[in-house]
Amino acid sequence: MTPEEFRQQGHRAVDWVADFLAHADRYPVLARVKPGQLSDALPACGPEQGEPAERLLADFERLILPAVTHWNHPGFMAYFANSCTGPGVLGEMLAAALNPNGMLWKSCPAVVELEQVVLGWMRQWTGLPADWFGQILDTASVGSMHGLAAAREAADPNSRTKGMAPGLTIYTSEQAHSSIEKGAIALGFGQENVRKVPVDVEFRMRPDSLAEMIERDLAAGLRPCCVAATVGTTSTTSVDPVPTIGEIARRHGLWLHIDAAYAGSAAFCPEFRWIFEGCDRADSFVTNPHKWLLTPMDCSVFYTSRPDVLRRAFSLIPDYLATADDPRAVNLMDYGVALGRRFRALKLWFVLRAYGREGIAQLIRDQIALAQELASWVDADSRFERTAPNPFSVVCFRYKGSDDDNRRIQEKVNESGEIFMSGTKLNGRFTLRLALGNAATGRRHVERAWELVRAAV
Query: What residues numbered 394-433 form the site for its own copies, per CB under 8 A?
Result: 422-425, 433
Asked whether position 138 contacts its own copies by CB under 8 A, the answer is yes
- Give whichever of 106 and 281 is closer to its own copies, judged by the CB atom: 106
Which residues between 100 and 119 bind its own copies (CB under 8 A)? 100-101, 105-110, 113-114, 116-118
Sequence-ordered list of residues with C-beta below 8 angstroms from that of 443, at least 6 positions apart, any chain: 370, 373
Per CB under 8 A, contacts with its own copies among 14-43 are 14-22, 30-31, 33, 35-39, 42
CB of 173 to its own copies, least distance (A): 13
Using the rule CB under 8 A, which residue among 201, 220, 316, 380 binds its own copies? 316
58 sits near its own copies (criterion: CB under 8 A): no
Should residue 44 be labelled a site residue for its own copies when binding is judged by CB under 8 A?
A: yes
Pick the closest to residue 452 from 72, 77, 21, 33 (CA basis).
Answer: 77
The pairing of strands 394-399 and 384-386 is antiparallel
**6 lies in the site for its own copies, by CB under 8 A:** yes
What is the distance between the alpha carbons of residues 183 and 190, in angstroms, rounded to a whole number? 10
Complex with its own copies: residue 325 or 382, whichever CB lies closer = 325
Instruction: Please pick, from the candidates 160, 196, 281, 412, the single residue that binds its own copies as defined by CB under 8 A.
Output: 160
**Sequential DSSP letters for 352-408:** HHHHHHHHHHHHHHHHHHHHHHHHHHHHH-TTEEE-S--SSSEEEEEESS-HHHHHH
343-402 residues in contact with its own copies (CB under 8 A) are 343, 346-347, 350, 352-359
CB neighbours of residue 191 within 10 Å? 9
Closer by beta carbon to its own copies, 100 or else 129 = 100
Cβ neighbours, 10 Å, residue 283: 23
Q: Which is nearer to its own copies, 71 or 246 (CB)?
A: 71
Task: Give the amino acid at 152.
Answer: R
Shortest Å distance, C-beta 424 to its own copies: 4
**Residue 211 or 299: which CB sits closer to its own copies?**
299
CB 364 to its own copies: min, Å? 14
Residue 444 neighbours by CB distance under 10 Å: 9
Annotate each residue in 213-242 with x if it binds its own copies (CB under 8 A) or - if it does not, as one string.
Answer: ---------------------xx-------
- Per CB under 8 A, the segment of 156-164, 198-206, 207-215, 216-224 that binds its own copies is 156-164
Tell me if 151 contacts its own copies by CB under 8 A.
Answer: no
Name the CA dihedral angle for 202, 204, 205, 207, rounded to a multiple of 10 degrees: -80
Binding residues for its own copies restricted to 182-211, rule: CB under 8 A: 182-183, 185-193
Nearer to its own copies among residue 101 and residue 372 (C-beta): 101
48 lies in the site for its own copies, by CB under 8 A: yes
Binds its own copies by CB under 8 A, chosen from 25, 28, 29, 70? 70
Minimal distance, residue 247 CB to its own copies, in Å: 28
Secondary structure letter of residue 276 according to DSSP: G
Residues 214, 219, 225, CA angle at the centre, nearest 5°?
40
Contact by Cβ (8 Å): 82, 435: no
Are 285 and 260 contacting, i.e. CB atoms less than 8 angstroms apart?
yes
Size of the site for its own copies (CB under 8 A): 158
Instruction: Single out the residue of 329, 301, 334 nearest to residue 315, CA to CA.
Output: 334
Distance (Å, whole) CA 362 – CA 74: 17
